[in-house]
Amino acid sequence: MTARLVAAIPKLASLDVERSLTFFERLGFKRLHASREYGVARRDNVSVHFWLCADPRIPNETGCRISVEGIDELFETYSRLDIVHPNGRLESKPWGGREFSILDADGNLVTFMKLRSNNRVADESERMKSWTSSQLPLAFSLQSSG
């Protein structure tokens, strides 16, 4: 049998694990584990882990992307919670998907994305190779303007 990767689980820096878990509960996640130094939250098939970090610069330089179904509904839900980043509104992207972004309680960039149904996730890396530098800085502009 050939080895196959089946999932990725982001591990985000947290200045306060309890605060991070509470923030993700607002997003519909349920906490699975909570200690002072480590936390785990899950919604549907997505888990996010948090590790205690003392350096506030680290979460401002990190983040994750979460693939979703029903991106328009999720965007509306999170918009009502007033947590969508002003520079991260829902929009179609040149690589074939729709996405929007939020900053969590510590500044980690969390991007929710939906690829068009005729695109395969495996094709995403090929599309990324063709990105121009003008298409890449969104993550940096979101984090630096927060």
DSSP at 57: T
Which pLDDT score, from 0 to 100, does residue 138 have? 45
User: Are 52 and 37 a contacting pair, CB within 8 Å?
Assistant: yes
Q: Read off the tokens for 24.
A: 């993700």
Which pLDDT score, from 0 to 100, does residue 54 have? 97
- The 3-state DSSP class for residue 117 equals coil
Domain ranges of the chain: 11-145
CATH numeric code, 11-145: 3.10.180.10
Helices assigned H by DSSP within the chain: 17-26, 71-80, 124-129, 138-145
CA atoms of 94 and 10, how far apart (whole Å): 24
Residues 6+ apart with CB under 8 A from 60: 106, 107, 108, 143, 144, 146
- The 3-state DSSP class for residue 135 equals helix
Question: How is the beta sheet containing 46-52 ordered, strand by strand?
Answer: 11-14, 46-52, 38-43, 30-34
One digit per residue, the tens of pLDDT, for the chain of length 146 reads: 899 888 889 999 999 999 999 999 999 999 999 999 999 999 999 999 999 999 999 999 999 999 999 999 999 999 999 999 999 999 999 988 999 999 999 999 999 999 876 545 445 545 554 554 444 444 444 444 44
Q: Read off the tokens for 8.
A: 């990725």
How crowded is residue 113: how many other Cβ atoms within 10 Å of its Cβ?
Answer: 17
